């Protein structure tokens, strides 16, 4: 745990994913304690979180406000747990009808989710592995029952700080970064990461063009009056605009790589194996597929690709 500013702490918590750790941010002031993101419902995460809180003389019940950057398991997983202890949980309105519903009402999305994979060329055996991963993930998630909707630009006064919610869709539809206005510090969630490019995926429940959303969000982030960003994983980002530009360039390269692979029509699954040739487990393949599909749909909506099917195959126009 590290105090970044007076009353603002970074709490790294272990997660059973390749990124290994999620950073939560704790705000403490004016007799109030707020947490930005919550980690996942594993024993290791709860234990670490409990110890970090104890170092500050706090316990789980002291957290009265939870601000969620987005609905992904490593950020949202314990939100219902804190809500059950009396915390108010805030989540962007766009997440309520999509990512949050995906966890709250799995039956409503299950059929559409599997259909999306099959329609885009995923072999049945690969889909079986993906279904197992999702079933295991659900067991570690405690969705909040009554999250309070956040809107873009809304200013919250919590724990003696003023935070502006900056809607930054792309990595998740209702992704929000929180700008500590007086301090010029951005709590960036997964919209900007120091070492890796945040996953931008198209899923059964997402908006239609997540990559377009993400590129716009990067522009927006680059213009914020932030001297540093603290993200959901890894270390701080001192040059916010430069990192946003690097990520834009990365996606531009990936779009060009995809176009080059489309000498002949191919499915999103096939292309994901070519674009991500490294050895990946079922969870990694799932992300690779959704990221490839987001890039393909971006190109299709730009008029550079067409598709035939289902099962869908993309081709250059």
Q: What is the binding site for Zn ion (CB under 5 A)?
A: 72, 74, 190, 232
**Nearest 5°: CA angle at 80, between 63 and 88?**
45
**Alpha helices of 87-209 — where are they, by DSSP H?**
93-96, 99-104, 106-119, 124-138
CA geometry: angle at 152 spanning 147 and 158, to 5°?
A: 60
CB of 236 to Zn ion, least distance (A): 16
- Residue number with CB closer to Zn ion (74 or 213): 74
Let me know: does 91 contact 69? Beta carbons within 8 Å: no
Token pair for residue 289? 């597929």
CB of 283 to Zn ion, least distance (A): 13
Three-state DSSP class for residue 2: strand
Looking at the DSSP bridge assignments, the partners of residue 24 are 11
Residue nearest to Zn ion (CB): 72
In the complex, least distance from residue 13 CB atom to Zn ion, rounded to whole angstroms? 11
Q: What is the CA radius of gyration of the chain?
A: 20
CB of 243 to Zn ion, least distance (A): 16
Tell me the C-alpha distance between 89 and 260, whole Å. Answer: 45
Q: Which two tokens stand for residue 232?
A: 């959901």
Q: Which is nearer to Zn ion, 72 or 230 (CB)?
A: 72
β-pairing, 155-158 vs 148-150, is unpaired
Which positions ≥6 away from 38 have C-beta within 8 Å?
Answer: 24, 66, 68, 75, 76, 77, 78, 79, 81, 82
């Amino acid at each position: 745990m590290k105090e970044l500013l007076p009353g603002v702490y970074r709490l790294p918590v272990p997660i059973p994913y390749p990124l290994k750790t999620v950073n939560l941010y704790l705000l403490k002031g004016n007799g109030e304690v707020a947490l930005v993101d919550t980690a996942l419902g594993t024993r290791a995460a709860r234990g670490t979180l409990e110890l970090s809180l104890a170092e500050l003389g706090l316990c789980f019940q002291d957290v009265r406000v939870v601000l969620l950057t987005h609905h992904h398991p490593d950020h949202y997983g314990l939100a219902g747990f804190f809500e059950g202890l009396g915390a108010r949980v805030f989540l962007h309105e766009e997440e309520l009808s999509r990512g949050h519903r995906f966890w709250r009402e799995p039956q409503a999305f299950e059929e559409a989710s599997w259909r999306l994979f099959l329609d885009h060329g995923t072999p049945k055996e690969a889909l079986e592995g993906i279904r197992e991963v999702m079933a295991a993930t659900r067991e570690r998630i405690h969705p909040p029952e009554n999250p309070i909707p956040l809107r873009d630009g809304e200013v919250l006064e919590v724990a003696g700080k003023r935070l502006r919610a900056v809607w930054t869709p792309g990595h998740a539809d209702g992704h929000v970064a929180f700008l500590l206005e007086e301090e010029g510090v951005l709590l960036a969630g997964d919209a900007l990461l120091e070492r890796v490019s945040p996953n931008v995926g198209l899923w059964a429940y997402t908006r239609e063009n997540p990559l377009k959303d993400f590129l716009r969000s990067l522009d927006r982030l680059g213009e914020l009056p932030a001297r540093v960003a603290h993200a959901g994983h890894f270390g701080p980002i001192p040059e916010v605009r430069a990192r946003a530009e690097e990520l834009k360039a990365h996606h531009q390269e990936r779009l060009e790589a995809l176009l080059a692979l489309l000498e002949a029509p191919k499915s999103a699954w096939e292309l994901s194996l070519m674009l991500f040739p490294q050895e990946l487990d079922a969870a990694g393949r799932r992300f690779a597929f959704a990221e490839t599909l987001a890039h393909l749909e971006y190109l299709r909506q730009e008029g550079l690709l067409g598709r035939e099917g289902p099962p869908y195959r993309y081709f250059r126009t």
